[in-house]
Amino acid sequence: MHPFRSNAYRTTSEEKRYNERMAMEDPEVTYNNIRRAAEVHRQVRKYARKYIRPGMRMMDIAETIENGTRALVEENGFESGVGFPTGLSLNHVAAHYSPNPGDTLVLGEKDVLKVDFGVHVKGRIVDSAFTLSFDPTYDPLLEAVKAATDTGIREAGIDVRLGELAGYIQETMESYEVEVNGKVLPVKPIENLSGHSINPYQIHGGKSVLLVKNDDQTKMEEGEYFAIETFGSTGRGKVIEQGECSHYALIADAPHVPLRLTSAKSLLKSIKQNFGTLPFCRRYLERAGESKYLLALNHLVAQGILQDYPPLCDVRGSMTAQFEHTILLRPTRKEVVSRGEDY
């Protein structure tokens, strides 16, 4: 029985979690690490928003964002670097698409592009995203999602219940509609996507902030970090996993499984050395010198050691948008660490 979970452990579990978080490192040090990452995020996205234009390959957009991040954060092993794969999901694809090696997809005039990228300093990940479109048709969709994310940020706080926060987000999102080809469509929150708590070197810290009202009584707690992100859609408002996978991450406390496949053993070693529990994509494996890794990669997924995150898609023909900030729940005030003059 886990020592902390038996009732022999007297302090309330909330106090225990608080103590664990505070024992990790001096909060002021942490704040400065994540502020440094946030400043890099602002500079990279300021350039990206100017540079990204229809006609560009998704591959070039991803590499420009990643090279900019690596240079400005002074990438250095596990000390600082890219937080997770650059998400460049288009149109009905809401999240978790990043170009794989050989991808020749080109950004189109009518596309709605979600740019979701991360920067980390000492494992403190800034996760922030925005949506770009070049045709004004979908501006109301982008406005709806930006407003819903700002509602989520405004209403978030210590002791706020996650289920209640989701209700406020939903209310804002559903107050918008968008006219497409003469048809008025309601903006729907995507019910199976969410914001999430963030832990050191762990993009998903275990708490999810859904986008539709629910009765989750779990509270936000002092010292926690959250990615407050909302997704709106003109489709079903529900995503499924569909298409070729690019995003992967080691499962934090995965069971020790004896691996028969030698190539899987060596790939696992390389993943642990290069990424640890940080999410990565196939391009990052190649950058780390791996080749002919697909069989081993799929084997590690099948063995429950590695989690795959395929693209998350609403129905074809629908449009989805995303805005996201990372916030810190400091004792005296909430800090929207990734806020910039752009969003």
191 assigned to active site: no
CA 78 vs. chain centroid, Å, equals 19
Q: What is the DSSP string of 27-53?
A: HHHHHHHHHHHHHHHHHHHHHHHHH--
Q: How far apart are CA 62 and CA 225, in angstroms?
A: 26
Q: Which of residues 227-256 bind Co ion (CB under 5 A)?
A: 227, 229
Give the binding site for ligand 57R (CB under 6 A).
84-85, 95-96, 192-194, 196, 203-204, 208, 229, 247, 249, 279, 309
228: amino acid identity, one letter: I
Q: How far is the CB of 253 from ligand 57R (least distance, A)?
A: 17
127 assigned to active site: yes
Binding mask 124-143 for Co ion (x = CB under 5 A): ---x----------------
CB 169 within 8 A of CB 152: yes
Q: What is the dihedral of CA 80, 69, 148, 159, to 10 degrees?
A: 10
328 phi-psi bin (left φ>0, alpha ψ -120 to 50, beta other):
beta
Q: How far is the CB of 254 from ligand 57R (least distance, A)?
A: 14
Nearer to ligand 57R, 247 or 299 (CB): 247
192 contacts which partner out of ligand 57R, Co ion, none, CB within 5 to 8 A by kind? ligand 57R
Q: Which of 150, 229, 290, 314 is catalytic?
A: 229
Q: How far is the CB of 127 from Co ion (least distance, A)?
A: 4
Q: Is 324 annotated as a binding residue?
A: yes
Instruction: Using CB positions, name the residue nearest to ligand 57R.
Output: 279
Q: How far is CA 166 from CA 135, 169, 343, in A?
A: 30, 5, 21
CA 205 vs. chain centroid, Å, equals 11
Q: How far is CA 40 from CA 83, 92, 343, in A?
A: 12, 29, 15
Nearer to Co ion, 87 or 140 (CB): 87
Q: Which of 41, 204, 247, 325 is catalytic?
A: 204
204 assigned to active site: yes
Q: How far is the CB of 151 from Co ion (least distance, A)?
A: 17
324 assigned to active site: yes
Q: How far apart are CA 113 and CA 92, in angstroms?
A: 10
Q: Which of residues 211-230 bind Co ion (CB under 5 A)?
A: 227, 229
Q: Which residues bind Co ion (CB under 5 A)?
A: 127, 227, 229
Catalytic residue numbers, as ranges:
116, 127, 196, 204, 229, 324
Q: Binding site: which residues?
A: 96, 116, 127, 196, 204, 229, 324
